[in-house]
Amino acid sequence: MSGGLGIIALESFAESAKRIDKILCEWRSADSFLIECICPRFSSGEGKAVLKESVREKDIFILVDVCNNSIKYKFDGEYNRMSPDDHYADLKRVIGACNGKARSITVVMPFLYESRQHRKVLRESLDCALMLRELELLGVDNLITFDAHDPRMQNVLPLNGIENISPTLQFTQALLTEYDDIEIDSEHLLVIAPDEGATERAVFLSSVYGVNLGMFYKRRDYSRVVDGMNPIIAHDFCGGDISGMDAIVIDDMIVSGKSMLDVCRQLKDRGAKRVFIFATFGLFSYGFNEFDEAYENGFFEKIFTTNLIYQKKELLSKEYYYSVNMNRYIASAIDTLNRGKSMYKLVRPQDRIKEVIAEYKAKDV
């Protein structure tokens, strides 16, 4: 073991952290690695972080879910939902409370804060890069994130450890556990990138599965700006005949879902047998009505997202939803870094995915 281990979970990640801690304790025959932390607020609305025990000479892992909008704080007599900005401010407070005494600090931030503002157009702020540089200045040694919106954000900190982990292994296991009739070959299955930004993750999955790839191109109206973006005019499909084939649409997140559902509809119109959706983060910011309607119309078969961020209770009750549990994988990442071992097999699990597929196919022999 490289050094002592300590886990600090912000309130946004508290429940998952307890399960991750339990897994690590089972592996290491320990009682608990959790270090209690609170972030109280003054009557002015300002906050602070307080650690209840020492972090001296420990490898500290700080867990935060910047998307958890279920947490509220009281200010001026009213309750306010915590935004990603609020969660990030608390993260910085916790790092400050460690006060340079920890052996190392690793931030576990599954949804990378400001990852959607990863590039600059005209007079815009470059928030993701600013956040990463700020964490570097605060003394953070490593950052663990999952399926970053743009993996090139690692270039901001060439001398620091940034582990961008793909959950494709867990998606594969979930799909093959839920369905026993998936034929994984180029004649019966293909992987779909819903837009240009999802191409890299779609290429990786299709290559490991040994199936073909299709892609949709988003045509935008660059003469207008709506809600800070150029509106989408249409989704144009780039690919061959998909009649009678199962399709996996893979992306990093579902926000409104309008683009994703339009892609699913077009795939069904083109003759796809079933459409499965893999999305690491299911925000569903505009509710579920459109998803309910699309499911009733047969546009998709099942949605798979992870428990890496807060999941709405309504989502968990949906017939078409499958929650992919990532707690053990986070525990593995913490254990691996703390022991000073390579993260490669966790970050790019292609060999393990191939093993899972081979075992699945062997059942039918």
- 208 within some domain: yes
The span from the CA of 163 to the CA of 113, in Å, is 14
The token pair that represents 61 in the structure block:
């892992």
For residues 236 and 357, state if they share a domain. Answer: yes
Stretch 295-302: mean pLDDT, rounded?
97
pTM (predicted TM-score):
0.91
Stretch 276-285: mean pLDDT, rounded?
96
pLDDT one-digit tens code per residue, 118-129: 777 778 888 999
**DSSP codes joined into one string, 141-170:** -EEEEES-SSGGGGGG-TTSEEEEE--HHH
Domain boundary among 165, 196, 228: 165
Vertex 194 angle, CA 190 and 197, to 5°: 115
192 Cβ partners below 8 Å, 6+ apart?
202, 213, 214, 215, 216, 239, 247, 248, 249, 250, 263, 267
- 335 within some domain: no
- 223 within some domain: yes
Question: What DSSP state is assigned to residue 83?
Answer: P
Residue 240 has a pLDDT of 84
The domain total for the chain is 2
Domain housing 223:
168-325+352-362
The token pair that represents 70 in the structure block:
């279920």
Q: Using the predicted structure, report yes or no on whether residue 23 has a pLDDT greater than 50.
A: yes
Other beta carbons within 10 angstroms of residue 82's beta carbon come to 20
- 309 within some domain: yes
The span from the CA of 237 to the CA of 149, in Å, is 22
Residue 298 has a pLDDT of 97
CATH number of the domain encompassing residue 282: 3.40.50.2020
- 9 within some domain: yes
pLDDT band per the 50, 70, 90 thresholds, residue 2? very low
For residues 98 and 112, state if they share a domain. Answer: yes
Residue 7 has a pLDDT of 98
Domain boundary among 165, 188, 213: 165
- 336 within some domain: no
The span from the CA of 348 to the CA of 267, in Å, is 28
Contact 274, 295 (CB under 8 A): no
For residues 134 and 152, state if they share a domain. Answer: yes
Alpha helices in the chain, H assignment, sequence order: 14-28, 84-98, 127-137, 168-178, 199-209, 258-269, 289-296, 313-316, 327-338, 344-347, 350-362
- 320 within some domain: yes
Residue 154 has a pLDDT of 81
Q: What is the 3-state secondary structure (H, E, C) of 247-262?
A: EEEEEEEECCCHHHHH
pLDDT one-digit tens code per residue, 30-73: 999 999 999 999 988 899 999 999 999 999 999 999 999 999 99
pLDDT one-digit tens code per residue, 99-115: 889 999 999 999 999 88
For residues 81 and 184, state if they share a domain. Answer: no
Residue 111 has a pLDDT of 97
Exposure of 280 by Cβ count < 10 A (0-12 exposed, 13-18 middle, 19+ buried)?
A: buried
- What is the residue-averaged pLDDT of the chain? 92
For residues 125 and 197, state if they share a domain. Answer: no
The span from the CA of 121 to the CA of 56, in Å, is 43
Contact 13, 65 (CB under 8 A): yes
- 155 within some domain: yes
